[in-house]
Structure 1
């Protein structure tokens, strides 16, 4: 992206652009056909088009949702023949896609094509880093390319729609689903939402190797109280519009024609029954023309929320609120006909939902090419291709974040040193892929051990010891690990969370390393050899003891199919680390929710004062490793900020630049980050807010100027009237390596 585009992306403007013209034209070409179908459909057939069930015909993952999937193929086949189901999800395979589609086209009364969807979150057979890890690359082109590859594999396997990207802003690391998004910052979430949407959908949504994107979970799901999954959310409308809605708007601007309603309630109204959110904002205000699908039974869960009396009432509330398609619960199919016949739901409301679904099918080209993605030969050629494996390795190494590197411990030499790879993840393949990799080819995963052995000149110098399980000790495990450490020149500790710990429904009270692993780390560190930590995680963790004090710490997230090879590329210096944190690593779990863009309060913590200030007794209001932090293999120094002027005219521009210098002896990538603070405003503003960033590559000793252009639109915030606004006055500006440091200056916005 250009520098100017990155700056513009920080704007808080609410106007949405229309979906790409090609999509609109294709859909419009079928408008008469859609209206004819609606006129001829029975109430039961209309309800069927709004009903989504699991796919029993094709290869499917193990249970990834509460309750077992229905495996009765004949039952589902008859429902398709009767026109009582319009879409299937989470089954893959080109050949069987043709079978299921043929049932709809040739054996149902109206021949309406089926829509096939799946949870393709960060890859199909080839998996890429988990979304949070990929966000650490701060590389939008990379995100677009991995989404494109995931779409190609999904499309070739007979899928038309993916339930991704997740664009929830996540500021409480206790929440297990932090791993699925782009972290805590609004701008970074907006940019990755758009990039991933573009990647999934490609240049032509009707291309068999493109997928309909489904930004989720609409909305504010990431703000669940106490980081407890599915919990309530309660916030001002300014916070909703200023923090949690912009990534969705960005995805819709990029062309997304579907969104998924969330599990949570929002200010007392469950989002899957929230007319204000799903109709007044999404459709009336923003002009969204696609359809809304419920999350797994979330429309039925209106009952448990205490918002609906029974299934019939839940179906009525959800449909009239704006949920167009019901996932798995079956309550639309069961109750919509009676709701319309009784007058409790207007026929117009039902027809509008059916129209949205059918027009999206038209935009996908399903009326023109219903068997798209049903070619086994294309599937064999595309899925797991060498090009996708190469991309997975590239994405993996670009997602690694080096937090600490004392005394240039890294990179490790490929020869001459004995390495002890210790920890539950050293030789483990089951946790390579990460959560929501339900279709991954488990034989494709490259472990840390395999990556290390392939990189080393003499693989016999590597000793691998497990030491402990993820959450349980091993008999004799610590003793074996200590012995291996004594015989080694350097210890690499592969520790962290399993994919089951960083995932949906995996909220944690204390975001710490499991006790058996911490005990292992302490024992191994006591040997006195240099220690490198490879931290596997899908969230920021509280680091302590031997892990915190290790000579080098590298966050490896869950890097996907090529994890071991990608990590080895960086650890042994073939590629330098370039990642930057998309989340803050706080000192303690008790600081959560912790995020850099917090408000100052009336009693902010000051360096010279600590009493009667907004701070904890045990720690300052800082992060151990702040948002945006990440090291290369050479140090970088920043000069003073140079402004083109001390004032920013109301309708003009202001340039800001800083010189960055590589003071080391190896090349380095630096991500220069521009932050601002509105010092006096009609509503209190964050202490810092990211507005742009720029990557520069520096040879040893090289100095490069990083320059940015700022306009008034980049300073907008959501005002009291819920519209974007900004007032004249003073602003702080930083050009910095992270959200907690860097050169600082001021400018004034003048009318």
Structure 2
């Protein structure tokens, strides 16, 4: 084993070589066809020397390609410093799992960790070293397309998933386990709070709100050992995150003690210029390096300006050394100095990627991520029924989601294929009915004909994957009108209708949930989506998913989320007819479907919850116990949820906060006692002076199957 001293290596590097290590480019810059690069090289102001010493390559995948690029690069690098290969492996490499928001709805950390481990294994054998995941941005606005990358609107639940994904990607030892990847948590910080749900838009909030709601999941990922952090596109307190010295130096480095590598998002250093926070590339580079950004992704402010900033004395070369050392240390931890081709293996790539084991896992996770939103005794389906499968997603491979860039729609199991596993094809009539946003009379006629001879109609509706994801913001989050019209026309037959939704965000479901007899939220379920959803539709899997984002009653409510504050004039049942309270005149205050909501094919009954005491003493603890029974005819899983409220705080406290949950499996007639433990630490919050502590006083505890349908208990905290 070669023992590389990165400090000694750093001492041998020229200033130009150091600066080049702080840049990430796409693989086309490293190809032999220089003619194709004349434009990009000139536009970015790069020289061949810059490229020969660059630190990292973005989005080059495939073992053969990566090995060739690394080999050619190493042959021309003076000091033999290997490249870092990074890519967006968000919810799968070639075996695509459900989008992250869907995985969140499983409330299952073991499944989340397994999905990340499989994604790591497939991409590592294809030559990748680092994934730009997990994205842990807290989101409260479904207009923002990137909600599909998050696990939802709750800081505690997001933190638990952040930990699970990091464990899955990185394993226990990155140095020895070449089937794992270094994880990069993103986007630091508060990218999910973009105003108006418009991507790349301004974020504006207090530091207290930032700490209380938006920072916990990033911190949890770092506590789990996440190796990298990516900056956000947005401003934090008026300063672009990529040049925000308080955010990166004081909070991330000093307060949290993060010693790993910090990378900008694509072009984010240069984007300080249109933000109006830098006059040009030189000032942008100075602000970013002073803020502690180690690597610049796909803009060239560093390579074009850092050298003259050092030579003019505006920045100390020690800042450059600090960042280069972090880059080299990550390369050393990954074992790249010993084996620059870490994990990449063309033969093993063929065996591992999209193997049966991975497909089975994808199918299981997709089934457990789907959420049953409505069911008036239509589901599960029976194999003997005549089924009309209608809609633009009936035979579509566009079920992977917008961040499945290495997946294949051709390899995805379509819904028709999945249903065909469950019943004779002769019992299925298939019709498209319409396209996603348009339709023809011929399509409609075909759908009506298919419905006439059916006993039950399965409508496969939703959004094209490009309608969500990055830059996928939408002001109108209803299904396109042509799909709503299709539901209305089919409703006239008077036959049971089960809608299956394929989408990347919570939707305004008017025109769907009021017309259909059953609604199954499938999200973008991934490679095995068709089979997984058929498993749920036919009852081979009992749906157990629970929403991790509220579904709005109307886009006019947004942002709408369960852990909101009360007002001085709160709406209550007894004052609902009064005007001068906090309410809408035309819609309810409450969301259409609350956080934590989801149905099952069986029924769960909650006994009366019990507190072990009505006073929490200093240094003591309370227990909350509730009996849950399955009084239906099918085995099923229930997510028992515990929320709390601090009735009087130094600052206003949320009406409810998720503090604990347990997912339990019960056979028909079986019951279980679920116990949660509460300690004073769980009651702390950020005060107006940013101290983090609890207050003596009265608290409420809520126990139930979701954030709305709960039993209320009370206790008092003594200090």
| TM-score bucket (shorter structure) | over 0.9
Q: 2:289 aligns with which of 298, 303, 319?
A: 319
3-state DSSP of counterpart to 1:732: strand
Distance (Å, rounded) in 1 between the aligned partners of 2:38 and 2:350: 29
Work out whether residues 605 and 631 of structure 2, in 8 Å CA contact, stay in contact via their aligned partners in 1.
yes
2:500 to 524, 528, 534: 534
- The equivalent position to 1:672 in structure 2, one of 640, 646, 662, is 640
The yes-or-no answer on 1:43 pairing with 2:43 is no
Residue 446 of structure 1: aligned partner: 413
Q: Please, which of 356, 360, 370 is the counterpart of residue 400 of structure 1?
A: 370
Which residue of the partner structure matches residue 228 of structure 2? 258
Alpha carbons 1:80, 1:86 under 8 Å: kept = no
Residue 68 of structure 1 and its aligned partner are, at CA, apart by 13
Give per-residue Cα distances to partners, 1:266-288, cap 9 Å, x unaligned.
12111111000011000011100
Q: Which residue of 1 aligns with 2:34?
A: none
2:499 and 2:40 mapped to 1: Cα distance? 43
In 2, the alpha carbon distance for the partners of 1:695 and 1:57 equals 49
Superposition TM-score, scaled by structure 2 size: 0.96
- 1:624 corresponds, among 584, 592, 604, to 592
| Residue 71 of structure 1, CA deviation | 10
Alpha-carbon offset, residue 70 of structure 1: 5.8
In 2 relative to 1, CA 81–526 (structure 1 residues): closer, same or farther, beyond 3 Å?
closer
Contact 2:50 2:303 in 1 (8 A): no
> Residue 93 of structure 1: CA displacement?
1.1
Residue 674 of structure 1 contacts residue 693 of structure 1 at CA under 8 Å; is this kept in 2?
yes
* 1:108 counterpart = 2:77: yes
Provide the residue aligned with 1:12 in structure 2. none
- 1:56 paired with 2:28, answer yes
Structure 2 matches for 1:651-666, cutoff 5 A?
A: 651-666=619-634
Structure 2 contact 20–51 (Cα < 8 Å) conserved: no
| Aligned-partner Cα distance in 2 for 1:441–1:667 | 34
In 1: Cα distance, 2:24 partner to 2:704 partner: 48
SS in structure 1 at match of 2:698: strand
CA deviations over 1:654-677 (Å, ceiling 9, x no partner): 000111122211112111000000
- Select which of 80, 87, 97 maps to 1:118: 87
Report the alpha carbon displacement of residue 153 of structure 1 after superposing the two structures with TM: 0.5
CA contact (8 A) 2:488 2:515 kept: no
Answer yes or no: is the 8 Å Cα contact 1:57–1:100 preserved in 2: no
Give the CA deviation at 1:699: 1.8
Does the aligned pair in 1 maintain the 2:174–2:333 contact within 8 Å?
yes
Matches within 5 A, 1:61-460: 78-79=48-49, 82-83=52-53, 85-206=54-175, 207-406=177-376, 408-415=377-384, 417-429=385-397, 431-456=398-423, 458-460=424-426
CA–CA distance in structure 1, aligned partners of residues 271 and 41 of structure 2 = 23
C-alpha separation in 1, matches of 2:167 and 2:513: 39
1:725 matched residue in structure 2: 693
Give 1:77 shift. Answer: 11
Give the conservation status (yes or no) of the 8 Å contact 1:400–1:555.
yes
Deviation at 1:236, TM superposition (A): 0.8
CA contact (8 A) 1:445 1:563 kept: yes
Alignment of 1:550 with 2:499, yes or no, is no
* C-alpha contact 2:487 2:515 (8 A) present in aligned 1: no
Q: Aligned to 1:142, what secondary structure does the other structure show? A: helix
Q: CA deviation at 1:370?
A: 1.6
Alignment CA distance shift 1:488-1:69 (3 Å): farther
Take 1:572 and 1:79, find their aligned partners in 2: how far apart are those partners?
61
Gaps of 5+ in 2: 32-36
Write the deviation string for residues 592-651 of structure 1: whole angstroms up to 9, x where unpaired.
Answer: 011100001111110111221111112222121111001110111212111111111121
1:330 deviation in Å?
1.8
State the SS of the aligned residue for 2:25.
Answer: strand
SS of residue paired to 1:44: helix
Alpha-carbon distance in structure 1 between the residues aligned to 2:24 and 2:261 = 13
Q: Report SS of the residue matched to 1:303.
A: helix
Q: Could you give the per-residue CA deviations for residues 353-410 of structure 1, whole angstroms, max 9, x where no partner exists?
A: 111111111111112222212321121121111111111101110101001111x211
CA–CA separation in structure 2 for the residues paired with 1:35 and 1:500:
46
Q: 1:662 to 1:49 in 2, by over 3 A?
A: same
Secondary structure, aligned partner of 2:97: coil
CA contact (8 A) 1:262 1:272 kept: yes
User: 2:166 is paired with a residue of what secondary structure?
Assistant: helix
Contact 1:81 1:104 in 2 (8 A): no
Check conservation: 1:190, 1:247, Cα contact below 8 A. Answer: yes
Q: What do the CA deviations read for 1:435-471 (whole angstroms, capped 9, x no partner)? A: 1100003332000000001121x12111111111111
- In the alignment, the residues of structure 2 paired with residue 693 and residue 309 of structure 1 have an alpha-carbon distance, to the nearest angstrom, of 50
Contact kept, 8 Å, 1:56 with 1:70, in 2: the verdict is no
Of stretches 475-484 and 459-468 in structure 1, the one that deviates more from structure 2 is: 475-484
Between the aligned partners of 1:565 and 1:52, the Cα distance in structure 2 is 39
Note closer, same or farther for the CA distance 1:315–1:448 as it changes in structure 2 (3 Å cut): same
Mapped contact 1:638–1:742 kept (Cα < 8 A):
no
State whether structure 2 residue 489 is matched by structure 1 residue 523. Answer: yes
Q: How many residue pairs get matched?
A: 709
**Partner residue, 1:7:** none
Q: Is the 8 A contact 1:653 1:711 kept in 2?
A: yes
**1:82 CA drift (Å):** 3.3
Give the structure, 1 or 2, with the largest relative contact order (CA under 8 Å, sep 6 or more): 1
Contact 1:54 1:69 in 2 (8 A): no
Instruction: Please give the secondary structure, in 2, of the residue aligned with 1:493.
Output: strand
Q: Output the CA distance in 1 between the equivalents of 2:76 and 2:499.
A: 59
